[in-house]
Structure 1
């Protein structure tokens, strides 16, 4: 007998992000005494959790302890110096201007800068007003280190913080 139900993985239309769904989920958060780096929600009659395990299953990103980024030393004439004068954090506008200009001093500079752009505004979904931390610009100078970095742990920490503080400033 043929089933009238299709498996979820064969959905024929693309899924789209819905901020409204995330907002509604956050409204049903359960405050608990469990680990502070996980969240629990009420969905119908079930209590569900969002922890490192679920994050890894959803994203497929590696997860271990985030390494100490203070040990990275500024490379002489690295990305940070060549395109941004070695100043502190940079804005998305500054990075976008360099990418749009299309004039790169060394091979792979465009790739390295695109990695930073994709990391912040595609993978992490940051608002364009958020500044790019200097450690990312230093890390991208070493593509092997950038590739080996545990982005899952970094993004999970950022996500949990963002979710837990989503309503800060709205509770006046």
Structure 2
């Protein structure tokens, strides 16, 4: 196992997914929510998410090392190997790999300029983008939905810590409808979550794990 049983440690694993969902529902108009619901991530907004931090923490120390090419993460639970792969991720989220992803540079800075008043803002945290979104007065429904998609992907699907850097490239991708629809969100989000779990499992034992 990655963490020997005699070195298990208490920790707090937290998640703000439900708060982001409430923020989105409160911010968007009825028409905008209907538009978001038609997007690939739309149905997930209405999922009643229950986060069990203790359960996740008890799983992480029981992770079993696998080959670097393994499609997922494996845990030893009550003498059984429990594996979570991209297939399980797809079943839960409803996302599936794209057969023919569009190879296209999505370097538009339009939404970045709209939100920050500049195309050159490079560093911003997920917490800052959340606050900007909450207080921004949108005059265009499409723009509101696109920004929500970016926030949803980074904070819900990837589950980034609020203090970590927001990926500005997401704004360019959601602003290009054709590129957004053809992008392989299933594989990208699955491996982002795998990386996030591995990173948390390598935290110092005395540190709290905060998602």
Fold shared per TM-score above 0.5:
yes
Could you say what the CA RMSD is over the residues aligned between the two structures, in angstroms?
2.9
Q: Say whether residues 1:82 and 2:131 are aligned partners.
A: no
2:57 is equivalent to residue 57 of structure 1: no
Stretches of structure 1 lacking an aligned partner (at least 5 in a row): 1-13
- Choose the corresponding residue for 1:145, options 165, 170, 179: 179
Any idea what SS the aligned residue of 1:71 has? coil
What runs of 5+ residues in structure 2 fail to find an aligned partner?
A: 1-47, 207-211
Give the drift of 1:35. 2.7
What is the aligned partner in structure 1 of residue 36 from structure 2?
none
Pairing partner for 1:113 from 120, 139, 147: 147
Alignment of 1:22-33 (within 5 A): 22-33=56-67
Residues matched between the structures, number: 157
Residues 79-135 of structure 1, C-alpha deviations (whole Å, 9 max, x = no match): 012222112143334423433334335452111111111222223222211222121
Specify the alignment match of 1:21 in structure 2.
Answer: 55
**For residue 161 of structure 1, what is the aligned residue in structure 2?**
195
Q: Relative CO higher for 1 or 2, CA cutoff 8 Å, sep ≥ 6? A: 2
TM-score (normalizing by structure 2): 0.63
SS in 1 for 2:201: coil
**1:123–1:15 Cα change, 3 Å:** closer
Measure, in 2, the Cα distance between the counterparts of 1:101 and 1:42: 45
CA contact (8 A) 1:41 1:49 kept: yes
Residues 41 and 47, structure 1, Cα contact 8 Å, conserved in 2: yes
* Structure 1 residues 160 and 68, CA gap change in structure 2 (3 angstroms): farther
Which residue does 2:73 correspond to in 1?
Answer: 39
Task: Tell me the TM-score normalised to structure 1 length.
Answer: 0.75
